[in-house]
Amino acid sequence: MTDASSRPKATPHQHIENGRTRVTEWRFAPGAETGAHTHEYDYVIVPVTSSRMRLEMPDGTVNHAELEPGRSYFRSAGVSHNVINEGDGDLVFVEVEFLEPTDR
């Protein structure tokens, strides 16, 4: 297990931000992390590669998720975590954030 202080950082590449939607491609080398953060908006994750994610929660709990290419999932705003690539290869996913409410 890699100590959090020595983990490499995941690399974001923003593709789109237009006032309604932000699309970011995230790339994680093995062991890389996002760092602790809280999502301000509802979002969808679209995995590009298979990998195992470690999700460290603010209360100290740890969850794990297996990602499969194309198997998307949705989360509501307010999620707080640190995402770490526990796989042996690169982890790549696309994050789509919904920047404005859908109550139209």
pLDDT digits (tens, 9 = 90+) for 35-68: 999 999 999 999 999 999 999 999 999 999 999 9
Residue 78 included in any domain: yes
Q: Which domain holds residue 30?
A: 10-94
The answer as to whether 17 is a domain residue is: yes
Where helices occur in the chain by DSSP H, the ranges are none
Distance CA 12, CA 10 (A): 7
Q: How many domains, the chain?
A: 1
This prediction has a pTM of: 0.89
Residue 3: inside a domain = no
What confidence tens digit (pLDDT) does each residue in 58-101 have? Answer: 999 999 999 999 999 999 999 999 999 999 999 999 999 999 76
